[in-house]
Amino acid sequence: MSTTSPTILIVDDEPQIRRVMRTTLTSQGYSVIEAKSGDEALEKLRSERADLILLDVNMPGMSGLDTCRAIRRTGDVPIIMLTVRNTERDKVQALDAGADDYVVKPFGAEELMARIRAALRRVATSEAIPAFRSDDLTIDFAKRSVAVKGVAMRLTPKEFELLRQLVSNQGVSLSHRRLLQAVWGPDYGEETEYLRVFINQLRKKIEPDPRHPRYIHTDPWIGYRFEPSPRKTRGSHAGK
């Protein structure tokens, strides 16, 4: 990703919304490309590089959710979903489709810029984190790679950063707020549905049995904890 001018792909069927967002983004130094449909967005991504995608949920033809799933099958570019719907069910659907974040229309320019910065955020740390290896799981933080029983797993940037936070504090229960602020940024803290969805996604990718997690455990009312090996603790629950 360019450090001077990240490129943002706007996917929305409304010309006026694309025009307003283009004006806002270019004034903040971003480069912008546009698509008016999911199909056009997929076509653009085959020939142009985007550092982040602003994707409308409700579009004619291929929906935003289907477009998000299609992008996730081959890429890990950050995706922010845009929608007029604001129920928890709608948020979970967007995140479960592979979105990194969710913004409700109408939104202000400052809120959009903050969400974009959070989605583009890469945690820089001078402290090297050792690779994690067990009999069935290998995580190499330097190479940003994860393998389960020797098979490489594709993680989105947010999934990988969430896993990094958990593994680097293995054995410690990390609160919802701490994880949200470490992974998404200081403006977050109450969006527990984000963690629920992303933890479920991680479990599906790295756990031998996601329904009975070996590594990523839930500490009720507190947060989540990564254990390097199975450990039975009274009062600890692995499920949601």
User: Dihedral (C-alpha) 65, 67, 68, 71: value to the nearest 10 degrees?
Assistant: 160
User: Does position 211 have pLDDT exceeding 50, yes or no?
Assistant: yes
Please check whether residues 19 and 116 belong to one and the same domain: yes
Quote the Cα angle for 88-218-222, to 5°.
80
CA atoms within 13 A on the CB side of 99: 28
For residues 11 and 116, membership in a common domain is answered with: yes
**Averaged over 56-83, what is the pLDDT?**
92
Flag whether pLDDT at 123 surpasses 70: no
Of 110-124, 139-153, 197-211, minimum mean pLDDT range: 110-124
Residue 240 above 60 pLDDT?
no
Burial of residue 231 (CB within 10 Å: 0-12, 13-18, 19+) is: exposed
Q: Are both 110 and 149 inside the same structural domain? A: no
Q: Which of 233, 193, 189 is nearest to 213 (CA)?
A: 233
Predicted confidence at residue 126, as pLDDT, reads: 40
Residue 64, token pair as written in the block: 């935003």
Q: pLDDT, tens digit, for every residue of 19-33? A: 999 999 999 999 999
Is 234 a domain residue? no
Residues 41 and 92 in one domain: yes
Which CATH number characterizes residue 203's domain? 1.10.10.10
- Classify residue 21: in a domain, yes or no: yes
Weakest-pLDDT range from 36-40, 64-68, 123-127, 209-213: 123-127
Given this model, what pLDDT does residue 1 score? 42
Closest CA to 53 of 225, 45, 134: 45
Residue 239 pLDDT exceeds 60 = no
Last residue of a domain, one of 89, 120, 151: 120
Judge whether 52 lies within some domain: yes
Residue with tokens 């090996």: 229
Residue where a domain stops, chosen among 120, 140, 165:
120
Domain span holding position 43? 7-120
| CA nearest neighbour of 197 among 212, 180, 209, 178 | 180
Q: Is residue 114 located within the same domain as residue 172?
A: no
The tens digit of pLDDT for each residue in 133-191 reads: 999 999 998 888 999 999 999 898 899 999 999 999 999 999 999 999 999 988 898 99
**Tell me: the pLDDT tens digits for 145-157?**
999 999 999 898 8
| 20 Cβ neighbours under 8 A, 6+ residues apart | none
